[in-house]
């Protein structure tokens, strides 16, 4: 059993080779990674959304600022939204200095996450390649490489011969329909096990006293005299002076409950996975022109994604058009995998902002904060967002690293244009 004290803090079972052996030999089971709780009538902070952003915010509130009277509420289950539906790519090769600094901090936090959370998050920095098939994308790759280098992030433009060495199965010849002119190569980029990140943060936050309230749907946000007072949920009302919207897919709907309007349009994004084959693809490969990205898991499956569906919708159904187009584009790049079979496809919801950067920080409603607008790039930002939102809540001051992502930028014309660094064309 997990040890517990009166403050709600408890010591989770340590995951180690020794404990694995001991429990294997004695037959002793493992305790649940996080507990279930009845709702308290009031919390210091209520976070809506038990994905990586909400859980990381709760974890860093507890670990960095000792604020533990915190509830993370979710209408579904931990990591059941965008945090469990993404293609698990981590990188910091963005276009704007603000974006590069922000995502680089996330990579640094991801690098130490497994040790910090005692949870194997399988972060594999296998290198990330963004292909250029025409002069204008090559120019953008050069631009990104220069900004990255200035910010101390490892990225460079390489030519077809070097690409071939990194990805021997790729057709880099000039006879193809979209010849590859070069690529932005970003060695620290790679993939991570997204479920493990969600579960690790949930376990870490729970062990410090945070309540994770699954199956708890927020039906309204109580705002009086310009300040947030709490939330209404399907399990009862909760009073709280701070409510944080950490949802993805429903960010504008949840914010509207507090009377805050966001410049967000929600689109589905589909992905697919193949049967497993012997590992042959080391790097993550992205082609904006062909609207495709691919990586291979440790188990050998190829994970594919494309651009967002071209219509606004809250549907999470897969479509045949997606699979057909994806297959066509993938085979342009790697004709030799033509016989592989797709096993499964799914979709997540992406809250797209006008400048392809997130919306983070305070809102015109006192105590109502947002960490939203994550488009197709939210998972990789989980740790840095959690760290920065926790700092904002604890100190009341917006940390420099998220200052340019404020909501007011849209009214004041200070956009942070990251479209050129989105994984695929939109």
Residues of the shown chain interacting with ligand PYC in the complex, contacts defined by CB under 6 A: 87, 89, 91, 293, 305, 376-377, 423
The H-or-E segment that residue 354 falls in is: none
Q: Which is nearer to ligand PYC, 75 or 85 (CB)?
A: 85
Q: Which is nearer to ligand PYC, 93 or 398 (CB)?
A: 93
User: φ and ψ at 30, to 5 degrees?
Assistant: -95, 140
Q: Are 184 and 163 in contact (CB under 8 A)?
A: no
Angle between helix axes 97-117 and 382-395 (nearest 10 degrees) is 90
CB of 294 to ligand PYC, least distance (A): 10
Identify the DSSP state of 380: G
User: φ and ψ at 213, to 5 degrees?
Assistant: -110, 95
CB of 89 to ligand PYC, least distance (A): 4
CB of 423 to ligand PYC, least distance (A): 3
Q: Which is nearer to ligand PYC, 230 or 249 (CB)?
A: 249
Q: Which is nearer to ligand PYC, 12 or 305 (CB)?
A: 305
User: φ and ψ at 404, to 5 degrees?
Assistant: -80, -5
Sign (positive/negative) of CA torsion 149, 187, 179, 100?
negative
Residue 217 CA, chain-centre distance (Å), reads 22
The residues near 92 (Cβ < 8 Å, ≥ 6 apart) are 100, 103, 104, 106, 107, 148, 153, 186, 188, 189, 380
CB of 386 to ligand PYC, least distance (A): 18
Identify the DSSP state of 168: T
Q: Identify the CA nearest to 374 among candidates 349, 398, 410, 408.
A: 349
Q: Which is nearer to ligand PYC, 259 or 420 (CB)?
A: 420
CB of 267 to ligand PYC, least distance (A): 12
CB of 42 to ligand PYC, least distance (A): 38
Q: Are 162 and 172 in contact (CB under 8 A)?
A: no
Q: Which is nearer to ligand PYC, 221 or 416 (CB)?
A: 416
Q: Which is nearer to ligand PYC, 241 or 425 (CB)?
A: 425
Q: Which is nearer to ligand PYC, 51 or 230 (CB)?
A: 51
CB of 377 to ligand PYC, least distance (A): 4
**11, β-bridge pairs:** 3
Which residue has its beta carbon closest to ligand PYC?
423
CB of 295 to ligand PYC, least distance (A): 9
Beta pairing, strands 45-48 & 182-186: unpaired
Sign (positive/negative) of CA torsion 349, 351, 352, 355?
negative
């Amino acid at each position: 059993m997990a040890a517990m004290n009166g403050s709600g803090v408890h010591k989770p079972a340590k995951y180690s080779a020794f404990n694995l052996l001991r429990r294997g030999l004695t037959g002793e089971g493992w305790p649940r990674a996080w507990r279930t709780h009845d709702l308290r009538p009031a919390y210091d902070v209520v976070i809506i959304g038990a994905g990586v952003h909400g859980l990381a915010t709760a974890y860093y509130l507890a670990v960095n600022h000792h604020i533990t009277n915190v509830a993370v509420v979710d209408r579904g289950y931990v990591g059941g939204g965008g945090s469990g539906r993404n293609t698990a790519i981590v990188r910091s090769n963005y276009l704007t200095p603000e974006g590069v600094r922000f995502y680089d901090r996330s990579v640094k936090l991801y690098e130490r996450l497994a040790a910090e959370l005692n949870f194997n998050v399988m972060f594999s920095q296998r290198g990330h390649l963004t292909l250029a098939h025409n002069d204008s994308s090559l120019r953008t790759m050069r631009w990104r490489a220069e900004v990255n280098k200035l910010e101390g992030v490892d990225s460079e433009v390489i030519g077809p011969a070097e690409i071939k060495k990194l990805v021997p199965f790729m057709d880099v010849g000039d006879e193809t329909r979209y010849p590859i002119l070069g690529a932005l190569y970003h060695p620290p980029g790679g993939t991570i096990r997204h479920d493990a990140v969600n579960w690790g943060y949930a376990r870490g936050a729970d062990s410090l006293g945070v309540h994770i309230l699954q199956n708890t749907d927020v039906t309204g946000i109580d705002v009086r005299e310009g300040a947030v007072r709490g939330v209404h949920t399907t399990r009862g009302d909760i009073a709280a002076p701070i409510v944080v919207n950490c949802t993805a897919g429903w960010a504008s709907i949840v914010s509207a409950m507090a009377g805050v309007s966001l410049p967000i349009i929600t689109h589905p994004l589909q992905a697919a996975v193949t049967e497993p084959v012997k590992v042959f693809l080391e790097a993550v490969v992205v082609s904006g022109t062909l609207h495709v990205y691919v990586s291979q898991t440790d188990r050998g499956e190829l994970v594919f994604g494309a651009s967002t569906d071209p219509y606004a919708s809250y549907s999470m159904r897969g479509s045949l058009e997606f699979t057909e187009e994806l297959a066509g584009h993938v085979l342009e790049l790697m004709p030799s995998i033509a016989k592989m079979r797709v096993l499964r496809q799914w979709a997540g919801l992406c809250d797209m902002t006008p400048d392809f950067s997130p919306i983070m920080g305070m809102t015109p409603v006192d105590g109502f904060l947002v960490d939203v607008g994550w488009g197709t790039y939210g998972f990789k930002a989980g740790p840095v967002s959690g760290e920065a939102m926790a700092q904002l809540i604890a100190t009341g001051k917006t940390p420099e690293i998220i200052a340019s992502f404020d909501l007011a930028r849209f009214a004041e014309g200070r956009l942070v244009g990251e479209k050129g660094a989105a994984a695929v064309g939109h």
